[in-house]
Amino acid sequence: MNAMLQDLRYAIRTLRHNRGFAVIAVLTLALGIGANTAIFSVVNAIILRPLPYPEPDKMVQVNLVWRGGEMNDSLTVPEFEFYRDHTAAFQAIAGFRGGADLEIKRGQVSEWIKPLRVTDGFFQTMGVSPLFGRGISREETHPGSARAAVLTDELWRKAFGADPAVVGQQFEAGGDSYTIVGVMPPGFAFAGQPADIFTSLQLGSSVEDTGMNTGVIARLKPGTGLEEAQGNMGVAFQAARRQGVAQSGEQGMQLVNYQRWLLGDLRPSLFMLFGAVGLLLLIACANVASLIMARGTARQREVSIRLALGAERSQLLRQFLAESLLIASIGGAAGLLAAAWTLRGLVASIPWSIPPGTQIGLDGRVLAFTLIVAVATSVVFALTSYWQTSKADLNLSLKEGGTHGARSTARSRTRNVLVTGEVALSLMLLLGAGLLIESLYRLHQQRLGFDPSGVYTMTTPFAPEASATSSQVWSFEQQVLDRLRALPGVTSAAAVSKLPLTGPNNLPTQQEGNPKHSIGGMEYRAVSADYFQAMHIPLLQGRGFSDSDNASSTPVVIVSENVARAWWNDQSPIGDQVVVGEYAGRQIPEILEPPREVVGVVPDVKNLAINEEQPTTIYVPASQLLKAGFRSTSWVVRVGANVSIGAAMRAAVLAVNPDQRVLNVEPMSDIVAQSVAHPSFNTLLMTIFAALALALTAVGIYGVLSFHVSRRTQEIGIRMALGAKRSNVILMVVGEGAALAGVGIAIGVVLAFALSRFLSSLLSGVQANDPVIYAVVAVALLGVALLASYIPARRAAKVDPLVALRYE
């Protein structure tokens, strides 16, 4: 212990006398370790940390597989009931479905809550029982039965005053009466989607039940593995197909680990970012190792004297370990502080949908990760110093100038290898950033089909208990539209049942009299007459909607261009008819509308997602909505330049109905930005990491060439004394830098090409091995390397031959 303390004191004293080296090494390590710690904290919380349920590895998501391999994570009610009753691999299985927000009124207090409708077996599948009371029973899922509710702990405390006698009480919400049957423990949250209350999902035969709208999760029986359960599910699927329960086009059923399914496309994104910061750490370590080797050269005589005076090589190793551990410990601590400082901002800017209840922070596993990284780097640095100095020839080292032999050449080669590795790793990061930037650019260049600039939006959800007719809804919309159009700066205003890029709203639709022309998921939008004008959507054929299109006139519809192309080819669809609520000749009475006459065609619009093809869409007049049923109305208001109108829009709605909720008042451009927020976040972080890597690589090249120039001062002086021009010296040194960069670029291209397939799933509209991006990145990196080489080359060209000849 005394020897270790002595080594530590000597390390502190040595580093204090070499503050420049110590500061650069610590900051470089802090950068690499801090970035790794921050990203690892996110990876740990979302991927590595198990879900907060008993035996979460036993939980699976039940998915449908269609022909072509496409997967659907929702089933119909008949399919759910069949698999619930015919699959022996599950200890419990449950269905769930979201619902419209509910308003709970307790005295003078009104609380809007988010419900999740669940079947019996839901809490058994989660492996968590109510704190008191019970869960949902099978009888409560039958149509017409009393509605049961299980409260979360937070809702129980906030809306019911933490009343221990709450079980058995009833409350009104959404026009229905609910009986409270249980309260969940504190901290319980469903990882699938946020919920304040769990209500009984009644399994009937409505259009919602017969559509694929019910999510299904299950818990495997003890001793049953995923592969065995998958086989059992395959047998059940064949039985469902024979009995006509499985739908046409279904290929099978797929069980997926529930946590893995929740993460979806987060896994490749997070692993990509974690791999990127890992490369950044390697570059930082290579830089520090290069610094240590340069410092080792300067300390060669000191080490040789110690060995000549009888110091043991184990003592030498222990001393290097102390110095390296001190540097890495300080760098690790600084990196940990940097990670803690940046983590809050990083988490706040994450655009992903993180499972409810996920806590991202610095926990024991993150601290252990940082400690391991710091210790591992310190050991590597210590062994580097030990290997460099312990193999020296003492006689040569003790002679003045004895450091210029084969040992110096070996060290130079080692440092060249480190810099070449930095270039290769940096190229991989730059290529990743370049591909993501190009992909993001392609996304922004997508043809939206509308013009978002100058458009403000808002949404007014209807209370579920409101039993307004279609005409009453249209009357409300007309009053609001009149007030919106009267606002200063407004050029046009319109209502729409669902804004572009905010999700699906589809209904089965068929061309009248032609069952072959059917689309089960036809996007359906109810719009006011000025919608196309407000969104700058041009009319391609026919006419738009007018005030004469009302409930007493002929039902009309406008179709998107891809519908017209699919159903009418080169013929005009004007005057033909489509039927909403009919699919392949089969009518769905609950949503069936009379045939609508096609009066116009508009361009395709990105109604669902910016990185997907434009969906087939039909538009009907909001003034001619034949059946009420939309949960909300959205509004689009086009204004002139430099007009702020959000508060006035909200006031216009409240002037018509003071009790109406108004949500999401925002520019349409923000909605478009949100649709590319995920790739934008990935691109931003990768670009930052690549820029840091490029800076470290430039410093590494500069350091190596500066070292070479200082060691070759006499040689350069002789060359210049014999007639070499300054330009020759500059070209010689810059050529060395170019050679290092060239080899590194070649290695990096090969490695990047081999790993490009891991990046493919994150790209849109660009190939992972795009030769243009490879060429641009390689040229840019070579340019930076040449610039970093020019500074020491210029200094070498200024060497005075007389001074250089006296250098030794």
Distance, C-alpha 571 to centroid of its chain: 43
Is residue 297's pLDDT more than 70? no
Mean pLDDT for the stretch of residues 593-607: 94
Is residue 64's pLDDT more than 50? yes
Is residue 736's pLDDT more than 60? yes
Most confident of 54-68, 312-326, 725-739: 54-68
Q: What is the pLDDT of residue 619?
A: 96
Mean pLDDT for the stretch of residues 246-267: 86
Report which of 31, 17, 207, 184 is spatially closest to residue 116, judged by C-alpha positions. Answer: 184
pLDDT band at 154 (very low <50, low <70, confident <90, very high): very high
pTM above 0.85, yes or no: no
- Lowest mean pLDDT across 105-119, 200-214, 345-359, 499-513: 345-359
pLDDT band at 803 (very low <50, low <70, confident <90, very high): low
Contact 436, 683 (CB under 8 A): yes
pLDDT band at 404 (very low <50, low <70, confident <90, very high): very low
pLDDT band at 651 (very low <50, low <70, confident <90, very high): very high
pLDDT band at 398 (very low <50, low <70, confident <90, very high): low
Is residue 719's pLDDT more than 60? yes
| Residues of the chain above pLDDT 90, percent | 38
Q: What is the pLDDT of residue 49?
A: 86
Is residue 45's pLDDT more than 70? yes
- What are 353-367's pLDDT values in tens digits? 777 777 888 888 888
- DSSP assignment string, 389-411: HHT--HHHHHSTTTTSSHHHHHH
Is residue 317's pLDDT more than 80? no
Torsion on CA atoms 319, 323, 326, 330, rounded to nearest 10? 180
pLDDT band at 155 (very low <50, low <70, confident <90, very high): very high
Is residue 805's pLDDT more than 70? no
SS (H, E, C) 170-189: EEEECCEEEEEEEECCCCCC
Phi, psi values for residue 61, rounded to 5°: -100, 135
SS3 620: strand
Q: What is the pLDDT of residue 405?
A: 45
Mean pLDDT for the stretch of residues 640-667: 89
pLDDT band at 54 (very low <50, low <70, confident <90, very high): very high
β-strands 59-66, 250-257 pairing:
antiparallel
- What are 412-443's pLDDT values in tens digits? 677 788 888 889 999 999 999 999 999 888 88
Q: What is the pLDDT of residue 755?
A: 82
pLDDT band at 201 (very low <50, low <70, confident <90, very high): very high
Q: What is the pLDDT of residue 303?
A: 66
- What are 752-761's pLDDT values in tens digits? 888 887 888 7
- What are 608-632's pLDDT values in tens digits? 988 888 999 999 999 987 665 667 8
Is residue 462's pLDDT more than 90? no
User: Tokens 């490749």, residue?
Assistant: 268
Is residue 389's pLDDT more than 70? no
- What are 775-799's pLDDT values in tens digits? 999 999 999 888 888 888 887 787 7
Please state the length of the chain: 808
Q: What amino acid occupies position 306?
A: R
Is residue 567's pLDDT more than 80? yes
Q: What is the pLDDT of residue 85?
A: 92
Is residue 598's pLDDT more than 80? yes
Is residue 735's pLDDT more than 90? no
**C-alpha–C-alpha distance, residues 345 and 363, integer Å:** 17
pLDDT band at 588 (very low <50, low <70, confident <90, very high): confident
List, as own/partner pairs, every contact residues 340-345 make where C-beta atoms lie below 8 angstroms and the sequence separation is at least 24, other chains included. Answer: 342/34, 342/38, 343/38, 343/41
Contact 443, 789 (CB under 8 A): no
Contact 224, 89 (CB under 8 A): yes
Question: The tokens of 439 are what?
Answer: 């992909």
